[in-house]
Amino acid sequence: MLRLDHVTKHFGGVKAVDDVSLCFKEREISAIIGPNGAGKTTIFNLINGFLRPDSGEILFKTKPITGLPPRRIASCGMGRMFQDNRNFGTLTCLENILLAKKGNPGENPLNSFFAPGKVRRFENSNLKDARKWLDFVDLPNMENVPAGNLSYGQQKLLAFARLMAAEPEFLLLDEPSAGVNPTMIGHILNLIKRIVNDEGKTVVLIEHDMSVILKVTDLVYFMDDGRVRTFGTPEDVLADKRVHEAYLGI
């Protein structure tokens, strides 16, 4: 689904990503772990076009996307959820999700005059889908509530719903469990599993909570100092001495 071949990114004299090769398979949950400064977020920024690699190649569904702008990469079927939820606080939950769907003919004002039926059909379909995604994340009674009035955990769920409404095939999730209580973490993990198992998506996440890694991931890459140090099943990676040294100093 996605492959990085010998990707490198420098910031001045610092190699944030140093000759990294990664491969993520379709309909799997993979994770990139490592201490702060390991290069995890830089990898995400390279994948979705916020940064351009100094060398190496990135391929999405076998097609090169290296150096494409973020909007082009998103239109290929890539979606990203950030650690800060980036919801529109003054808009309602429903309005937040309605904004996400691509290809709205109403964005062209001429269509309101010359193709009103096309605009109306899109809006009706979009409204139906938005309510479906609110129900999917278990926020069915919140559609008229301003996003800024939600708890932090509920805002995470809204961010999931908005991401799904954009219809990506490949999802990058930056610390989806960070800052929420254990009950909400369990809910989010079930949501991630359903996104893969029921909706057929592919998920890659950055995560610091090792219990999350053990519960949901199929494949784990451990990074340190910009390089991949080991990879494999969650159990094998978390048993690696280098992982213990990086996280625990032992």
pLDDT at 60: 96
pLDDT at 250 over 70: no
* Selection from 94, 85, 80, 96 nearest residue 41 by Cα: 80
Q: Which fold has domain 1-77+168-250?
A: Rossmann fold (3.40.50)
Over residues 12-16, mean pLDDT: 89
Q: Is the pLDDT of residue 111 over 80?
A: no
User: Bigger pLDDT: 84 or 110?
Assistant: 84
Q: Per-domain residue ranges for the chain?
A: 1-77+168-250, 87-166
Query: Does pLDDT of 148 surpass 90?
Result: yes
Higher pLDDT, 119 or 17: 17
Q: What is the DSSP string of 206-229?
A: E---HHHHHHH-SEEEEEETTEEE
Q: What is the pLDDT of residue 218?
A: 95
pLDDT-derived band at 124, boundaries 50, 70, 90: confident
What global pTM score does this model have? Answer: 0.89
